[in-house]
Structure 1
Amino acid sequence: MDFFGELYLRSTLPFLSEAVTAREADYLARAFTDAPGSGFIADLGCGHGRHASRLNASGPLAQRIIGLENDALSLSMRRRGFPVVRGDLRALPFQDGTLSGAYAWYSTLFAFTDDEHVGILREVARAMKRGGRLVFHTVPHERLAASPRAAFQRRLPDGAVLEEESQFDVSTGRDVGRRTLTLKDGRVLSACYAIRYYPLAELAGLLESTGFSIAWVHGGLDGEPLTQLSADLIVGAVLRDG
């Protein structure tokens, strides 16, 4: 089973409250207020569109958001109010130099191999206008290194049982785990995942090598500095000229 399909959607939806979504969307609205030109801003891995639907409806990014998603179930359940295309991060279905910006939440960009991460960022750069902005959210490498093993079990509001175990390898920067969701009807969804978490210096080098320069680094949605206690790593990067 593909981890980023029905399993991921059904196991994450209960934790994505409207209050959390609103705070994240507010952050993104501020981050792209002065994005160059009038081109689209792409929600990379938009899922069911919780950010895209809000941002495209009103505010500074109204009518400028386009979603990208590869999972058919997520697309079938998506919220209304924004255009979306089905496609792969590794081969973006956007013409060269047409996007004013792009964003990705919850380590969406880094669920592939290191070589594929380079390719994904080059694809984003190809599709983006010069001076365009890339904003993404992930988890600080140091936070995972401090607590490399994780395991939990929880009953979800719909009666399903969610179980997960993971192990972070500091040497490779990969968090490898298995998630299992036992639905109320007895059906079991289970799959492994491997997500890459880069130290900030390594992440900066990756962005520089693909045409971006870091504009800011935040440790949370209020724009606070990144510290050893930060649970979030939010990066804003700009596509350089030439």
Structure 2
Amino acid sequence: MSDFFGELYLRSTLPYLSEAVTAREVEYLSRAFADVEGPVVDLGCGHGRHAARLNTEGALAGRVVGLELDPLSLRLRRPGFPVVRGDLRALPFQDATLGGAYAWYSTLFAFSDAEHVQVLREVARALKPGGRLVFQTVPYERLAGSPGASFRERLPDGSLLEEESRFDATRGRDVGQRQLTLPDGRVLRAAYTLRYYPLAELKGLLESTGFSVQWVHGGLDGAPVSPESTDLIVGAGRR
């Protein structure tokens, strides 16, 4: 997975992350942590499109820190927020020092089931009692209804992006292969596996690792989850 969350991931996703989308996500996160005191960490901040905005304006200004393992993402990050290099499975934060934490695009669930327990326990350890975790992923039911996906598109810089994936509903795992052919002929290729839990199972996982679910949204507008939802956004409090 480390080969996936590096140059390949950055080059293939940045063209789709518009400033308008980022602004809407930042607005949601700002509301989600409006009543939280203390530092808030962006778990797997990438190049920092959320953290840079949140740390420079609004309720979270001056309180956001990024966490990222990929060295290229760290080198290319946007200015305006502090960042530390670290692994989600062993957070470089002291016990009960964070007010909040958030993760976008299934960042928390790119490991084994046992490691997902470890990740959530690490987040719980670092959060103050009453602190909050917010994360976004894709509803299990949506993937189960359309288990196969194929994609081929030319990006603005002339690169060719190709991807195929298959969701195994029994295992709850989306397994795929992404390839990016750059204009100079260089090819970046990597496989990935992401875990998607049915909502009841996800709630149980959170409860077992020290959290209480506070809300479940099906989109940035705060609507409930429905069969048409493209997002699953969960807010959970540290018990």
Which TM bucket (shorter chain)?
Answer: over 0.9
Aligned positions, number: 238
SS in 2 for 1:5: helix
Summarize deviations over 1:150-179 as a string: whole Å, max 9, x none.
001000000000000000000000000000
Residue 76 (structure 1) aligns with: 75
Counterpart of 2:153, as a letter, is: R
- The alpha carbon displacement at 1:103 in A equals 0.1
- The alpha carbon displacement at 1:190 in A equals 0.2
Q: In the alignment, does 2:202 pair up with 1:180?
A: no
Query: What is the CA–CA distance in structure 2 between the aligned matches of 1:203 and 1:84, rounded to whole Å?
Result: 29
Query: What is the CA–CA distance in structure 1 between the aligned matches of 2:151 and 2:209, rounded to whole Å?
Result: 37
SS in 1 for 2:5: coil
Residue 29 (structure 1) aligns with: 30
Residue 224 (structure 2) aligns with: 225
Query: What is the CA–CA distance in structure 1 between the aligned matches of 2:130 and 2:182, rounded to whole Å?
Result: 46
Residue 87 (structure 2) aligns with: 88
Summarize deviations over 1:8-29 as a string: whole Å, max 9, x none.
1110000000000000000000
TM-score (norm 2): 0.99
Residue 56 (structure 2) aligns with: 57
Query: What is the CA–CA distance in structure 2 between the aligned matches of 1:90 and 1:126, rounded to whole Å?
Result: 11
Query: What is the CA–CA distance in structure 1 between the aligned matches of 2:168 and 2:153, rounded to whole Å?
Result: 25
Residue 18 (structure 1) aligns with: 19
SS in 2 for 1:179: strand
- The alpha carbon displacement at 1:237 in A equals 0.2
Query: What is the CA–CA distance in structure 2 between the aligned matches of 1:3 and 1:53, rounded to whole Å?
Result: 23
Query: What is the CA–CA distance in structure 2 between the aligned matches of 1:59 and 1:239, rounded to whole Å?
Result: 24
Query: What is the CA–CA distance in structure 2 between the aligned matches of 1:207 and 1:101, rounded to whole Å?
Result: 15
Q: What aligned pairs does 1:2-151 form with structure 2 within 5 A after superposition?
A: 2-35=3-36, 37=37, 39-151=38-150
SS in 1 for 2:175: strand
Q: Which runs of 4+ in 1 moved over 3 A?
A: none
TM-score (norm 1): 0.98
Counterpart of 2:132, as a letter, is: R
Query: What is the CA–CA distance in structure 1 between the aligned matches of 2:12 and 2:99, rounded to whole Å?
Result: 32
SS in 1 for 2:8: helix
- CA-based RMSD: 0.6
- The alpha carbon displacement at 1:72 in A equals 0.5
Summarize deviations over 1:17-42 as a string: whole Å, max 9, x none.
0000000000000000001x3x2100
Give identity over the alignment, percent.
74
Query: What is the CA–CA distance in structure 1 between the aligned matches of 2:113 and 2:11, rounded to whole Å?
Result: 27
Query: What is the CA–CA distance in structure 2 between the aligned matches of 1:58 and 1:2, rounded to whole Å?
Result: 33
Query: What is the CA–CA distance in structure 2 between the aligned matches of 1:174 and 1:4, rounded to whole Å?
Result: 17
Counterpart of 1:140, as a letter, is: P
- The alpha carbon displacement at 1:87 in A equals 0.4
Summarize deviations over 1:195-223 as a string: whole Å, max 9, x none.
00000000000000000010000000010
Query: What is the CA–CA distance in structure 1 between the aligned matches of 2:225 and 2:147, rounded to whole Å?
Result: 20
Summarize deviations over 1:120-152 as a string: whole Å, max 9, x none.
000000000000000000000000000000001
* Unpaired stretches in structure 1, ≥5 consecutive residues: none
